[in-house]
Structure 1
Amino acid sequence: MALNYFKFLIIIFLFPAIGIAQNPSTLYQNWKASMDNRKDTDPNNDYIPILPDFSYAGYHNGERGLPSVFTQTYFNVTDFGAIANDNVSDKDAIMAAISEAEQNPNGGVVFFPPGRFIVNDANVDNLSEIIKVTKSNVVIKGSGSGDGGTELYQKDNTTHPDMETKDWVCPYLIQFTNNEDSVNNYITDVTENAERETYTINVANTSNISVGQWIELYVKNSSSSFIAEELAPYTSADLFEPQNLKLVNNGVEVREIHKVVGKTTNTITFKEPIHRAINAAYNWKINNFAVLEEVGIQDLKYTGGFVWKHIHHRAPQELYPGEPVGGPHAYLSSSGWSGIQFNHVVNGWITNVEFSNMSQVAQFKFSGYCSALDNEYTGNPGHNYISTNSATGCLIGRNLDSTIGIWHGCGLNAVSIGNVIWRNENPVNGNSGMEVHASQPRANLFDVCKGGFFFNMGGSTGALPNHLKNLVLWNFEGVSYQSTEVKSWRPNSETKYAKFLMPIISGLKGFTMSEEPNQFQENESPGIHVDEESLYEAQLAYRLNGNLPNWVTRINSVSGVEMSQQVLDLTIGEQAILEATVQPETADDKTVSWVSNNETVATIDSEGRITAWSPGVAIITVTTNDGSFVATSNVNVNNVALNKNVVVSSEPQIENPGTAAVDGDFDTRWSAEDFPQWLEVDLGALKTIYKTELVCFEDRAYHYTIEAKSDLETSYNKIVDKSSNTEGGFQNNPITDEFVPVKARYIKITVTGADSYSGTWASILEFRVFDRSSLSTTDRSLDNVIIYPNPFTSQIKLRHLNANFKTLKITDVIGREVVSKKIKDMNEVDVTVVNETNPVGIYILKLIGEGVVRTFKLVKM
């Protein structure tokens, strides 16, 4: 029976059925066997695969897609003085908007409406001044990268004092940075050896290391044995002018960024595997790594001013004919128009950005696990596309060069390790090479890319080799400096450049490698792609139990949902429309369901129409049917304290001001230390109040009293005494106090202590005050008109017209008519507003009926 089964397996192998894999990768099977062995036995076993594990690269280690919906506050640059399409610099306004977002406790989205915004203009701007984002959770977001979207125009180059002698030093204009330099603070020493692709290392002491902390695994050592180990099987004598080699003179340097997920007294465990074997004799260290997190730029076009023919490290000859390589104006080509840089960032991103006319596009420097996905380069090709610089585990993927070829395509340089250059396409015409820019990169992957390799890759002779061990070239298709007998390590007799230390190659198409000794570590399946099309995807799917995330497969699944308003202020009988924006726009199923948690206060129908019924607060929740993503809006009915002026006894925390107690937002609070503390609300006018509600931070059961008075001159009267309260104030079940209705303008709550809470902080999420007034019994049909969205982009919707109007007119602010429409006997109208001469700004809507005219202000974005 066993013999027959064995014969059956041989038949299957010799005569595979149609559709069964034809060219599986032995390298991948070797890697998978190592992973299987670790699952079954010890995760730190000695079975080390040939291939590094690249599956942890990218935003949140590839486990989730880039965000498309944001909960942070939006800061529109036009609110800070920026004006689209006016040919005037908007740099100051943009920096003001970023500053405001940085001061917000939860960060913010710096938003650009459609149109062109100038970000660097020599006529008015300091060209050496950088636009910086220095806090986490700050996102720069436009209105799209295509026609009708946002364009940032870097009219003039950035400057640096040394640019005339060092043409590469002009800084990136937009920088996400915590202002750290390359030196990170020392924590402890590594005490024992560790194999690459393992997760746990021994250290001298872990008392200053926390689980969840970002650290840098670091070594810099000029030991001759260490240098020999790095270069083997070659030696420094195989490189041009070995006496000038930085690796020899400055030492071997490795930087790996990792997140600590476990520790004991003398060990720390990382989430990601290490990619360079550790010999503790060379004085490896653990450094602290201070970072920004959750920062990104997306949905816009970034245009520079480099419009001349690019010549590598040479000034545009159209401007400076005859100026030699490295001349005083070479910076215009090399770095003058440098766009975006991330420095000391983890989990950052660049996505849906069209770049054009740039010297250098973007760079992840001293950063980890960031992603640059789905970007495009158009216009005039320049020096560099998107690259890493001393970064760990970044993913640069699905980026397209639509020009005749940027000199250095997407790639990496310096002590970059564990990065993945994935599914990028550069021209296959010999104009462009994927960047591998020397200065000791290790263990990086070029995965399913198209373009050029082993030429136009960068690196001075002193910084060589271009790449050290474990460069992986997987299913690459393209061209090289010649079509056959391509050498990864070219001898000095051929060129003093182009030195790659025995890459691992699988499925290479377009050119063939030399079979001379030490030209590669492995070269499987030359001329035919292997079945595992993408190594990154295969390894990621393995780690995630056979499943690839939707962001990889590009299944049009819902990734989030946004509510048009997070807080609503209504009176009894009033109606409003909430809109749910499902992300992404290409999602296949955008259907949602609505629910109110308190239908006695407010109900909502299937179209998002709210009706207010009684005083109180209802939390409206919208849920996507695909993915069950949710967003909420707090509907306040007859809450006369909402967004009113307040005075407080103390406001020690800038991020937790008194106004936060009456803003309708559960994510903000007023906090003051040491009881008693009080908060006074000016209702703005005399109100007949009968009920209050209190929502407390961490559901605390505060002791408090509430007082009311009709004007400033009179004394307060106590209307609520909860000095012995034991009831917690929950978001969905606030502490509610009803009392005999009183007329009051000023309301004061005094917190004197708390039950079952040993702290001394008075922290209030929401304090609400309700009156019983409702709409009058007279006909209010003219007041029930609903207009949305406002602000709008191209279309507005009018509801509840109740056949009261005959004509609709829209004019701009100087009275020019934009729209005129007959609406007799209509209850609902949809209107498209297009005005090419004044596409954004204020408009006036008039509804004209029999003896009645209603006027509304509209804002077009």
Structure 2
Amino acid sequence: MTVFYNIILSITFTATSFAQNWRSTYYPANWTPPKAQDFYTDPFLQDYSYSGYQYGEKTLPTPSGKVFDATKAPYNADKTGNVDATAAIQKAIDDAQTNYGGVVYLPAGTYKVDPGTNYQVLRISKSNIYLKGDGVGKTFILNNSYKMNGKAIIKVTGSSSWLTMPATKAFLTKDVMNPVNVLPVDNTTLFKVGDLIIVRNLIGDEWITEHKELGWIGMGPDLRGLMYCRYVTAVDPVNKTITIDVPVRYALKTRDGACVFKLNGMISEVGLLDFSIGNIENPAATGFGENDYTTNGTAGYDSHNSFVINFSGIVNSWIKNVSSYQPLGNKSGTRILSNGILVSSSKNITIDNCTMSYAQYGGGGGNGYAFRISANEVLISNSTANYTRHGFVFSDMWCSGNVFHKCNDVKTGIQCGNTGSMATSGYGSDHHMHFSHSNLIDNCYTENSGFFAYYRPYGTDPMHRITAAHTAFWNIASGGTKAYCVWTQQSRYGYAIGTSGVGSTVYTKENATGTASITDPVDIVEGEGLGTTLSPQSLYLDQLAKRMITTSVHDSKTETNIVLYPNPFQDTFIIRNAENIKHMQVFDQNGKEIFTTANVKKNFGKDWIPGNYLIKLEDNEGNVIFKRIEKLD
């Protein structure tokens, strides 16, 4: 995971004084992950740091294994863009899957592909597969079809279903109202450590009434329910509990049939990296209107519900250094037909340093979204959405624990159409529908757009209505011409903490007349216009550092043997058992990286000024370990 660990001193170096301007009331220097707070009645910031590949505890791996070069025999994929390469690349993927893993390599060049009658151009359905190019601007995947209704260019999918409950399941024996990871169940014999499970409820009229959303009465089955995909980390048959890897993100009541069942068929360790990807434009002169997606034969219909990349049923996987591009001949500026990257029914996915932009169609029905998440614990970092109807979007009740970190949301409410610039009726990066909850938008920038979690009386039944609860907007910067950068009107509690820039206003007003009573109380706002002096600047990184320092990556077999000695030191220090470490980064007390090396078998600190330092170590297993050290005068 490419993440800049600008760790804030208040967490990692509490003994040292430096300039701190202000902190949130809900995130004091001595904050600890909440356990007793009630999702229904208490305002609080939960621990959002579990998102991403391997919970952020490991860096994204370098693809390894047998290399399947798609341009070499027996595949011989054309890389000039003149001959269709679909079958050749898919054969390389299939062979890698038969081999139980490998790297499907696309050297620099242009690869023309087409879905034909399939619902995807390229399909990955097994674990341990990497699709790798030579870099953005070097390897180009060009989809040569604009007849893409319901299709994806790259589909990565397991065989699991979160939405279908098996007959065999355990029920919660008590209401779980807090962000805890120990669950009381009526039958522990169904589970063992390492099982992948779904923890969920069912939405009925009592839940709907409690949340004051009477417009959903009778529609609970269509809403499905809250769902948390988790690993079992402990089973206690005496006390009849199971422990899960990540706390639940909202309340679960026995009244609502809250239950736990095993999940099979998820795939893992899939990586897409280092390529550009684009789509030929639809040449139609008309058919780009809001409702044209419903009419067969129109440009809107051809683009409807299409995606560049579709991840579904995946765990611990990633997309890195992937960018949309404008193919030659696209006069409208189109790079993608409709939607960019979709992650659904998946867990612990990282999307890093990716750009999705310039959608040709952004009409109604779910079109023109750069990034769309309907999953658990997904991290999108250092990525950009530009020139689309919506930038970054959360959807559905099983969308929780996700983090957008250091992302850029630029110029939404627009599509390329056939002219290069056509307005769409929707805009912004938002919690789009159906009670997506407990997500974090962290240290992000918006320009001529905005980050929203307000009431949405739109769509077909069950309408979108209450879209969020317990989501935090942290340190949002803005540019462009809009007066506001955040609009939050969440159920229960919502949080907007620290904004800056030309449009630093936070709206908490109702989006639709008469809906304030549904979403009461008014969401919490702190530091409007004061984001540049908020400490910490990144809630996600601060919580990750705190969790990592506290746990010291308890799964690492080598961590307890790694010692910085002496500590504190005056001249130099050494790392005992350095043979277990493959990489080290050093951050000063202001969170600035001052040093990085792969050679750790020597003395360090000779030229460092006195003060406190945070050492980030990656061991040979890929675990990330944080240590603190002090240099004396």
Structure 2-normalised TM-score? 0.70
Residue 272 of structure 1, CA deviation: 0.8
Alignment of 1:174 onto 2:174: no
RMSD over aligned Cα atoms: 3.8
Alpha-carbon spacing, 1:247–1:348, altered in 2? closer, same or farther (3 Å): farther
Residue 436 of structure 1, CA deviation: 2.1
- C-alpha distance in 1 between matches for 2:583 and 2:360: 36
Partner of residue 713, structure 1: none
Alpha-carbon spacing, 1:203–1:96, altered in 2? closer, same or farther (3 Å): same
Partner of residue 210, structure 1: 192
Alpha-carbon spacing, 1:98–1:485, altered in 2? closer, same or farther (3 Å): closer
Partner of residue 377, structure 2: 393
- Equivalent of residue 494 in structure 2, options 494, 498, 503: 503
Alignment of 1:454 onto 2:452: yes
Alignment of 1:154 onto 2:143: yes
**After superposition, where does 1:244-263 map in structure 2 within 5 Å?**
247-248=219-220, 250=222, 253-263=225-235
Alignment of 1:410 onto 2:392: yes
Alpha-carbon spacing, 1:321–1:195, altered in 2? closer, same or farther (3 Å): closer
1:205 aligned counterpart, secondary structure? coil
- C-alpha distance in 1 between matches for 2:342 and 2:275: 17
Residue 473 of structure 1, CA deviation: 1.3
- Equivalent of residue 134 in structure 2, options 133, 143, 161: 143
Partner of residue 612, structure 2: none
**Letter of the structure 1 residue corresponding to residue 543 of structure 2:** Q
1:475 aligned counterpart, secondary structure? strand
Partner of residue 536, structure 1: 540
2:542 aligned counterpart, secondary structure? helix
Q: 8 Å contact 1:259–1:270 — kept in the other structure?
A: yes
Alpha-carbon spacing, 1:413–1:46, altered in 2? closer, same or farther (3 Å): closer
Alignment of 1:363 onto 2:342: yes
- Structure 1, unmatched stretches of 5+, are 1-16, 164-169, 237-241, 309-315, 490-498, 550-580, 594-625, 632-861
1:256 aligned counterpart, secondary structure? strand
1:174 aligned counterpart, secondary structure? strand
How big is each residue's C-alpha offset from its partner over 1:526-546, in whole Å with a ceiling of 9 and x where there is no partner? 221122211111111110117
Q: 8 Å contact 1:488–1:500 — kept in the other structure?
A: no
Residue 319 of structure 1, CA deviation: 6.2
Q: Percent identity?
A: 22
Alpha-carbon spacing, 1:468–1:591, altered in 2? closer, same or farther (3 Å): closer
**Letter of the structure 1 residue corresponding to residue 144 of structure 2:** K
Residue 264 of structure 1, CA deviation: 1.1
Q: 8 Å contact 2:22–2:535 — kept in the other structure?
A: yes
Alpha-carbon spacing, 1:524–1:218, altered in 2? closer, same or farther (3 Å): same
Partner of residue 804, structure 1: none
Which shifted more, 92-101 or 318-327?
318-327
Partner of residue 26, structure 1: 25
- C-alpha distance in 2 between matches for 1:50 and 1:187: 31
**Letter of the structure 1 residue corresponding to residue 268 of structure 2:** E
Alpha-carbon spacing, 1:51–1:220, altered in 2? closer, same or farther (3 Å): same
Residue 485 of structure 1, CA deviation: 12
- Equivalent of residue 284 in structure 1, options 246, 255, 258: 258
How big is each residue's C-alpha offset from its partner over 1:263-320, in whole Å with a ceiling of 9 and x where there is no partner? 1112100111111122112211112222101012001111112467xxxxxxx65467
Q: 8 Å contact 1:433–1:456 — kept in the other structure?
A: no
Q: 8 Å contact 1:455–1:481 — kept in the other structure?
A: no
Partner of residue 364, structure 2: none
- C-alpha distance in 1 between matches for 2:76 and 2:396: 40
- C-alpha distance in 1 between matches for 2:407 and 2:236: 42
- Equivalent of residue 437 in structure 2, options 438, 442, 448: 442
Residue 71 of structure 1, CA deviation: 2.9
Alpha-carbon spacing, 1:334–1:443, altered in 2? closer, same or farther (3 Å): farther
Alignment of 1:327 onto 2:327: no
Residue 141 of structure 1, CA deviation: 0.8
- C-alpha distance in 2 between matches for 1:76 and 1:478: 44
Partner of residue 164, structure 2: 183
Partner of residue 779, structure 1: none
- C-alpha distance in 2 between matches for 1:51 and 1:99: 45
2:410 aligned counterpart, secondary structure? coil
Residue 333 of structure 1, CA deviation: 7.2
Partner of residue 592, structure 2: none
Partner of residue 275, structure 1: 249
Residue 461 of structure 1, CA deviation: 5.3
How big is each residue's C-alpha offset from its partner over 1:378-411, in whole Å with a ceiling of 9 and x where there is no partner? 555651112212x11111111023x4x2211123
- C-alpha distance in 2 between matches for 1:171 and 1:526: 42
Partner of residue 5, structure 2: none
Q: Relative contact order: is structure 1 or structure 2 higher (C-alpha 8 Å, sep ≥ 6)?
A: 2
Partner of residue 308, structure 2: 339
How big is each residue's C-alpha offset from its partner over 1:711-751, in whole Å with a ceiling of 9 and x where there is no partner? xxxxxxxxxxxxxxxxxxxxxxxxxxxxxxxxxxxxxxxxx
- C-alpha distance in 1 between matches for 2:45 and 2:271: 31
Q: 8 Å contact 1:409–1:426 — kept in the other structure?
A: yes
Residue 465 of structure 1, CA deviation: 2.3
Number of aligned residue pairs: give it.
498
2:84 aligned counterpart, secondary structure? coil
Alpha-carbon spacing, 1:251–1:335, altered in 2? closer, same or farther (3 Å): closer
Partner of residue 545, structure 1: 549
**After superposition, where does 1:365-764 map in structure 2 within 5 Å?**
365-378=344-357, 383-389=368-374, 391-401=375-385, 403=386, 405-415=387-397, 416-427=399-410, 432-451=427-446, 452-454=450-452, 460=459, 462=461, 463-465=463-465, 467-478=467-478, 483=483, 488-489=488-489, 502-509=493-500, 510=503, 511-514=505-508, 518=520, 520-529=522-531, 530-545=534-549, 589=597
- C-alpha distance in 2 between matches for 1:284 and 1:135: 31
Residue 212 of structure 1, CA deviation: 1.1
Alpha-carbon spacing, 1:228–1:117, altered in 2? closer, same or farther (3 Å): same
Partner of residue 227, structure 1: 208
- C-alpha distance in 2 between matches for 1:323 and 1:195: 41
Q: 8 Å contact 2:388–2:413 — kept in the other structure?
A: no
Residue 72 of structure 1, CA deviation: 1.4
How big is each residue's C-alpha offset from its partner over 1:781-822, in whole Å with a ceiling of 9 and x where there is no partner? xxxxxxxxxxxxxxxxxxxxxxxxxxxxxxxxxxxxxxxxxx
- C-alpha distance in 2 between matches for 1:361 and 1:476: 23
**Letter of the structure 1 residue corresponding to residue 295 of structure 2:** G
2:26 aligned counterpart, secondary structure? helix
- C-alpha distance in 2 between matches for 1:198 and 1:34: 13
**Letter of the structure 2 residue corresponding to residue 260 of structure 1:** V
1:303 aligned counterpart, secondary structure? strand
- C-alpha distance in 2 between matches for 1:384 and 1:476: 20
Alpha-carbon spacing, 1:307–1:23, altered in 2? closer, same or farther (3 Å): farther
Residue 198 of structure 1, CA deviation: 0.7
Q: 8 Å contact 2:112–2:143 — kept in the other structure?
A: yes
Residue 228 of structure 1, CA deviation: 2.0
**Letter of the structure 1 residue corresponding to residue 438 of structure 2:** A
**Letter of the structure 1 residue corresponding to residue 469 of structure 2:** K
Alignment of 1:297 onto 2:299: no
1:180 aligned counterpart, secondary structure? coil
Q: 8 Å contact 2:389–2:413 — kept in the other structure?
A: no
- C-alpha distance in 1 between matches for 2:360 and 2:290: 21
- C-alpha distance in 1 between matches for 2:106 and 2:273: 11
- Equivalent of residue 322 in structure 2, options 353, 356, 362: 353
**Letter of the structure 2 residue corresponding to residue 176 of structure 1:** V
Alpha-carbon spacing, 1:483–1:112, altered in 2? closer, same or farther (3 Å): same
Q: 8 Å contact 2:106–2:134 — kept in the other structure?
A: yes
- C-alpha distance in 1 between matches for 2:285 and 2:478: 30
Q: 8 Å contact 2:431–2:468 — kept in the other structure?
A: no
Residue 158 of structure 1, CA deviation: 5.2
**After superposition, where does 1:62-77 map in structure 2 within 5 Å?**
62-68=56-62, 70-77=63-70
Larger radius of gyration: 1
